[in-house]
Amino acid sequence: MFEVKKRAGCGRTGVLSGEGWEIPVPNVLDIHSERFPHDPFSEIILKKADDDRNIIARADGQVAYEIPAYSGMPMKIPSETCDVPLLNFKDNVCVIRPEVKVDELKAIRSQMDLCVLENSIELFQNSRVFIDTLVRVREGIGFQAALYLPGVALPNNLALLFYLGVDMVDSARVLLLTRQGYFLTCDGSWLVSELKGESCSCVGCVNEGDDYEKLLRHNMLAVHSELERVRARISRENLREFVEYRAKTSPGLVEMLRHLDKSFYVFQEERFPGVAKSFRATTRLSLERPDVARFRERVLSRYKKPEIPNVLLLLPCSARKPYSESKSHKLFKKAIKDSGAGLLVHEVIVTSPLGLVPRELELFYPAQHYDIPVTGHWYEDEKKLINDLLIKYVNKNNYKLIINHLGEDDLIEYVDTVTTAYGRPTSEESLDNLKRKLSVLKTGKSGKTWKERSVEEAISMARFQFGEKAEGWLDGCTIKGRYPQLRIFKGKTQVASLSPKTGQPIPTLQGAEFLVEKDVYRINIYDFELTTNLFAVGVETASQEIRAKDEVVVARNGELVATGTAQMSAREMVESDRGEAVRVRHRVKMPNS
């Protein structure tokens, strides 16, 4: 059986296990034969038994799986014309043809521990077909089966393969290219004859041996070293950043990642957590990161500005996060305060790759979790992204005036704004311009207070976090504490608190009652007493918008039983019968417990 241990977007670490054995994944199957004996560092091997069967075994020789026979037919020959089965089973292993449909895989997914995709080498030659097929297969086999892709792995593509949801690869292509005289690294492949004296300090290169043995040793070390790097990146939850870096070593890998981002946002977004570790957005590929794209989408689809402010103030981002702790934003805050019009001003930070970040969302992932190179130059695709977002944003959120304090003359093109910054936004002249422009606004005539506005901001945050169904959750509340250490009350009852680390409103048990009633981020469990964290086997249904690391409520027979943090997406916890689904924070005490 297969159990996921750690997730990083579409990549995951886990364990394949049987009676008395375990295999860690992701992993590289080292091909073993008399001609190519496996290396001492091999964890699992692929070998032929005496009767010519393909066997997956641990390095100590203990057999884990037998792989059924491949059809041997190329993709260009339709399986129905040559009587080739789409699915070939042996115990819990299934070899599948690339043309198999999602529904056909779903019908037998419960019988599979391991799925082997035929024609992988042929698929890999066409970026679009390869990605389309992998996504279809992964959707079909679900979350609990491991996926093995034979014959395509190299050091520089390993990160992308595992990011795509592949769990196992093999050393076949490494052996082939070694025979052809290629020197393999995580940056690409070169013929040894073209290296011209370049050296490597790995064990394979510095030890004695003939040229082929040394090259083979180096290449195998290269792929296994990259395997360890990928595992570490998954553990640190920044695999996507690593994939973007590695993809640049090959135009084909960039093509695959771009096609994945363009055509399969939903597939990726579902697997990306609601909150993750900090990351660096150093390439243009970061513009389409699923968690970044999700933030932009939710600003437009979920978020509503507070009602009181009617002046939109566009501000530049800062290197320091959250923005409000930076020197530049403290200067902006002072200018706004000194103008006397602060109550009517709604600050929105303009940044790449996130687009627009309303001030009250600056703690939400990934607004305080990203780092970018600051050059003072905007690329055309970034400009288009910002302008498209701003047009949609102001059409949904009404303002009487839009002030551009970005210091970028040509950034905002299609929305009418009043410019207050010329050159540096933090210059004395620019700050004075901002203060003078705001001072003509008459705050006192609004009849509103900062306490009322703080409630509106909390409502905006809750809607961004939990969606439209959370409307009314914090109506009439009061806010206590000093930002960002805020507690939210209704009457004398605390219903939520704000997490400074994630920006998420975290419901108390009393606050969670409303969310259960409105079916907001709710998980329904079978009729049993929940005494520990919730595991997937106990989940009956879950709100489809739940992602790993989201705050959730747990109900049984319509009654609240717990609150906590999801460890899986909704679909994974419903489909799975193994693994932790929710880390419980608060649990309703049962009578006599």
Give tens-digit pLDDT for 359-392.
999 999 999 999 998 777 888 999 999 999 999 9
| DSSP string for residues in 502-559 | T--EEE-HHHHHHHHHTT-SEEEE-SS---SSEEGGGEEEE-TT--TT-EEEEEETTE
Query: Higher pLDDT residue, 78 or 363?
Result: 363
Q: What is the DSSP letter of 368?
A: T
pLDDT band of residue 72 (cuts 50, 70, 90) is: confident
User: CB–CB of 138/132 below 8 Å?
Assistant: no
Phi, psi dihedrals of residue 13, rounded to the nearest 5°: -110, 155
Measure the CA–CA gap between 184 and 192, rounded to whole angstroms: 9
Mean of the pLDDT values across residues 352-357?
Answer: 96
Which residues, 6 or more positions from 488, have their beta carbon under 8 angstroms from its beta carbon?
458, 474, 477, 478, 479, 480, 494, 495, 496, 497, 498, 505, 511
Query: Higher pLDDT residue, 264 or 64?
Result: 264
Predicted pLDDT at 18: 86
Measure the CA–CA gap between 392 and 397, rounded to whole angstroms: 9
In this model, does residue 84 exceed pLDDT 80?
Answer: no
pLDDT band of residue 74 (cuts 50, 70, 90) is: confident
Query: Higher pLDDT residue, 375 or 405?
Result: 405
Give tens-digit pLDDT for 413-462.
889 999 999 889 999 999 999 999 999 886 655 678 999 999 999 999 99
Give tens-digit pLDDT for 155-171.
999 999 999 999 999 99
> From residue 192, how far is each of 157, 189, 202, 223 by CA, in Å?
20, 9, 15, 17
Amino acid at 10: C
Predicted pLDDT at 288: 96
Buried b (16+ CB within 10 A) or exposed e, 82-119: eebebbbeeebbbbbbbebeeeebeebbeebbbbbbbb
* The two three-digit tokens of residue 114, written as one number: 């391991």
- State whether the Cα torsion 291-258-157-267 is positive or negative: positive
Predicted TM-score of the model (pTM): 0.94
Domain spanning 2-268: which CATH class is it, in words? alpha beta
In this model, does residue 329 exceed pLDDT 90?
Answer: yes
- The CATH classification number of 303-446 equals 3.40.50.10630
Measure the CA–CA gap between 186 and 204, rounded to whole angstroms: 16
Look at residue 581 and give its three-state secondary structure: strand
Q: Tokens 């939710």 belong to which residue?
A: 298
User: CB–CB of 370/353 below 8 Å?
Assistant: yes
Predicted pLDDT at 198: 65
Predicted pLDDT at 533: 97
Look at residue 82 and give its three-state secondary structure: coil
In this model, does residue 545 exceed pLDDT 80?
Answer: yes
Give tens-digit pLDDT for 506-538.
999 999 999 999 999 999 999 999 999 999 999
| DSSP string for residues in 414-459 | SS--EE--SS-TTSHHHHHHHHHHHHTS-GGGG---HHHHHHHHHH
Number of C-beta neighbours around residue 188 at 10 A:
14
Q: CA dihedral defined by 319, 324, 330, 335, rounded to 10 degrees?
A: 120
- State whether the Cα torsion 528-529-531-533 is positive or negative: positive
Look at residue 150 and give its three-state secondary structure: coil
Mean of the pLDDT values across residues 330-348?
Answer: 96
Mean of the pLDDT values across residues 189-208?
Answer: 78
In DSSP terms, 346 is beta-bridged to 312
In DSSP terms, 401 is beta-bridged to 311
Measure the CA–CA gap between 47 and 31, rounded to whole angstroms: 6
Measure the CA–CA gap between 456 and 454, rounded to whole angstroms: 5
Q: Tokens 């959730």 belong to which residue?
A: 552
| DSSP string for residues in 89-142 | EETTEEEE-TT--HHHHHTTGGG-SEEEETTHHHHHTSHHHHHHHHHHHHHHH-
Q: Where are the domains of the chain?
A: 2-268, 303-446, 485-587
Predicted pLDDT at 593: 52
Query: Higher pLDDT residue, 1 or 486?
Result: 486
Predicted pLDDT at 585: 96
In this model, does residue 313 exceed pLDDT 70?
Answer: yes
485-587 is classed CATH 3.40.50.300: no
Q: Report strand pairing: 63-67 vs 54-58.
A: antiparallel
